[in-house]
Amino acid sequence: MESPLAQFAIHPLFHLPMAGYDLAFTNSSLAMLLAFLATVVVFMVGTRKAAVVPGTLQSVAESIYQFVETMVEDNIGHGGRHFFPLIFAIFTMVLFGNIFGLIPTNFTFTSHIVVTGAIALFVFCLVIVAGVARNGLHWFSIFMPSGVPAYIIPLMIPIEIISFLSRPLSLSVRLFANMLAGHVILHVFAGFCVLLAGLLGGFGIILSLLPLSVNVAFMGLELLVACLQAYIFAIMSCIYLRDAVDVHH
Amino acid sequence: MPLSSNESDKSDLEERLRQATERQTVRSVHAAPAQGDSSVGIAARSGIEFVAAIVVSVGIGFAADHWLHTSPIGVLVMLVLGFGAGLLNLYRTLNGIPVSVTSRSPGANSPVADDDEING
Amino acid sequence: MDHDSAKLIAVAIAVLPLLGVGIGLGHLFAAWIGAVGRNPEAAPTLRSLGFLFFALTEAIGLFALVIAFMILFVF
């Protein structure tokens, strides 16, 4: 049986040597490109013939748009309109990456912490940069807890700073761990089917319907997890970006 | 004659009102689990919030020790601070999710979902 | 004993705390269901409290995982 982690191996499809580095186009890049193209196709075709009574694709596009708009409006507030394109890009990228990863033999780029970590670090840096750009040095008062006794403030400030620093880690690990664990479980149960059929022959094939049905059920669960984790990633980014917009909260 | 018409209108209205109320109740009952689901989804891996704070702070403490040659002190101090930060993270994750979005999660479009439940 | 097998045994020992996490979660949810059964009105409060302690218990398991990964990939 192949190792359940072998599905996450990255291999280059063609090499692209540039300035001493090999900027290879890998299967991960291909999966990202597919997710990007799917997003573009859904939104281009969906909004090309904008009808009052939306068709299937138009209502998909509209409901995703409205969903993200509500999320941004409610979590960042009115000052966060500038961040809508970013949150929308993050949400659709993660959502389509998660869902496309569920197609068998397809690569899941969100199961790599390097991808989720890069997005999370970008959001983290953006909070600092946008916060300082909007509020100046006054922005650093978000580390000042409000409504606590004065003698506890020297203790609370380092705690707040650590809490702030731990955000990109928890944001990226949550998505990465969920996708990794889900795909490993799917692989292990699929491996059981092959193992049973190979060991016991005809009887094994009948018996392998059992892990197969478990796998089908897990596929449904993973679809839910894929959508839910994209939602949580986007909403957490919104909640973190709110710190850049309003300092008093 | 007008009186009876009025009477029938009124009973008709009452009937429709009753039906609408019933529909709303059914909808809010249906909406409540969806709301619970998304709060479960947010809570599902919230242990990570706690662990992330401790990992980050112990990492900082370890680096500080390595740099300043104060071997166990930095890690121990940062462990305590990280524990506090982890608890703070957990508290914010479980209480800080804005209610309005949670009740407007996919599948729960009903405005009647009782919002107080999550704030608890 | 060579280095690799010692490492694998160490990883296996490092994830043993999951035993305690399992027992703890069992106790937690047993108590939670019991409490909600006795007093259904307190369910919202009990739910957020339950999530809090669930996350804290889960964190112990994640610490075991972090230690196991450290043994696997750092040493």
- Three-class DSSP category at C3: helix
Residue B29 counted as domain residue: yes
A174 Cβ under 8 Å from any chain B Cβ:
yes
Domain that holds residue B26: 2-109
Residue C32 counted as domain residue: yes
Total domains in chain B come to 1
Range B45-56 average pLDDT: 86
With an 8 Å Cβ cutoff, are A159 and B49 in contact? no
With an 8 Å Cβ cutoff, are C66 and B51 in contact? yes
Distance from CA of B118 to the nearest CA of C (A): 7
pLDDT of residue C74: 83
Q: What is the pLDDT of residues A10-43, one digit of tens each?
A: 888 887 777 777 788 888 889 999 999 999 998 8
With an 8 Å Cβ cutoff, are A163 and B55 in contact? no
pLDDT bucket at B6, cuts 50 / 70 / 90: low
- Three-class DSSP category at A58: helix
How many Cα atoms are found within 13 Å in the side-chain-facing hemisphere of A202? 0
How far is C-alpha A243 from the geometric centre of its chain's CA atoms?
A: 21
Give CA–CA dist A52/C27, Å, rounded: 55
B79 Cβ under 8 Å from any chain C Cβ:
no
Of A144, A149, A194, A178, nearest in space to A164 by CA: A144
pLDDT of residue A129: 92
Residue B90 counted as domain residue: yes
**Mean pLDDT score of chain B, rounded to an integer?**
66
Residue C62 counted as domain residue: yes
Determine the residue type at A42: V
Contacts of residues A50-58 at CB distance under 8 Å and 24 or more positions apart, as own/partner, are none
With an 8 Å Cβ cutoff, are C56 and B48 in contact? no
A152 Cβ under 8 Å from any chain B Cβ:
no
Residue B115 counted as domain residue: no
pLDDT bucket at C21, cuts 50 / 70 / 90: very high
Residue B116 counted as domain residue: no
pLDDT bucket at C51, cuts 50 / 70 / 90: confident
pLDDT bucket at B112, cuts 50 / 70 / 90: very low
With an 8 Å Cβ cutoff, are B51 and C63 in contact? yes
Tokens of A228: 């839910």
Asked if residue A169 lies in contact with residue A121, where contact means CB atoms within 8 angstroms, the answer is: no
How far is C-alpha C24 from the geometric centre of its chain's CA atoms?
A: 7
Range C5-18 average pLDDT: 92
With an 8 Å Cβ cutoff, are B120 and C45 in contact? yes
Please report the DSSP string for A188-244 in residue order: HHHHHHHHHHHHHTHHHHHHTHHHHHHHHHHHHHHHHHHHHHHHHHHHHHHHHHHHH
Nearest to B85 among A67, A159, A227 (CB): A159
pLDDT bucket at B100, cuts 50 / 70 / 90: very low
Interface of C with B (CB under 8 A): 44-45, 47-48, 51-52, 54-59, 61-63, 66
Asked if residue A241 lies in contact with residue A117, where contact means CB atoms within 8 angstroms, the answer is: no
Range C53-72 average pLDDT: 89
| Range of A9-13, B17-21, C61-65 with top mean pLDDT | C61-65
Interface of B with A (CB under 8 A): 38, 41-42, 45, 48-49, 51-53, 55-57, 60, 78, 81-82, 84-86, 88-89, 92, 96-98, 100-101, 104-106
Best of C18, C36, C39, C52 to substitute, by most chain B Cβ atoms within 10 angstroms, is C52
Q: What is the pLDDT of residues A65-110, one digit of tens each?
A: 999 988 888 888 777 788 899 999 999 999 999 999 898 888 889 9
Is 50 exceeded by the pLDDT of residue B32? no
Give CA–CA dist B12/B33, Å, rounded: 33
Determine the residue type at C50: G
| Sequence-ordered list of residues with C-beta below 8 angstroms from that of A90, at least 6 positions apart, any chain | A119, A123, A233, A234, A237
Of A131, A125, A129, A130, nearest in space to A143 by CA: A131
How far is C-alpha A81 from the geometric centre of its chain's CA atoms?
A: 21
Residue C1 counted as domain residue: no
First to last CA, chain B: 54
Give CA–CA dist C14/C11, Å, rounded: 5
- List the CATH number of the domain containing C47: 1.20.20.10
With an 8 Å Cβ cutoff, are B43 and C56 in contact? no
pLDDT of residue B36: 41
pLDDT bucket at B110, cuts 50 / 70 / 90: very low
Within 8 A of C59 by CB-CB distance, chain B residues are 47, 50-51, 86
Alpha carbon separation from C68 to B82, C19, C30 (Å, rounded): 20, 15, 29
Environment class of A111 (CB within 10 Å of its CB; exposed 0-12, middle 13-18, buried 19+): buried
Best of B48, B51, B58, B115 to substitute, by most chain C Cβ atoms within 10 angstroms, is B51
Range C10-38 average pLDDT: 94
Residue C3 counted as domain residue: no
Q: What is the pLDDT of residues A163-222, one digit of tens each?
A: 999 999 999 998 998 899 899 999 999 888 888 888 887 888 888 888 899 999 999 999
Determine the residue type at A175: L
Domain that holds residue C57: 12-73
pLDDT of residue B28: 45
A170 Cβ under 8 Å from any chain B Cβ:
yes
Asked if residue A225 lies in contact with residue A96, where contact means CB atoms within 8 angstroms, the answer is: no
| Range of A57-66, A116-125, B79-88 with top mean pLDDT | A116-125
| Sequence-ordered list of residues with C-beta below 8 angstroms from that of C52, at least 6 positions apart, any chain | B90, B91, B94
Distance from CA of A36 to the nearest CA of B (A): 23
Residue B120 counted as domain residue: no
Give the residue, A42 or A54, on which the prediction is more confident: A42
Residue B87 counted as domain residue: yes
pLDDT of residue B29: 42
pLDDT of residue B39: 56
Nearest to A159 among B41, B60, B88 (CB): B88
Total domains in chain C come to 1
Of A173, A188, A178, nearest in space to A3 by CA: A188
Closest chain C CA to residue B116 = C44
Asked if residue A99 lies in contact with residue A31, where contact means CB atoms within 8 angstroms, the answer is: no
pLDDT bucket at B9, cuts 50 / 70 / 90: low
Residue B14 counted as domain residue: yes
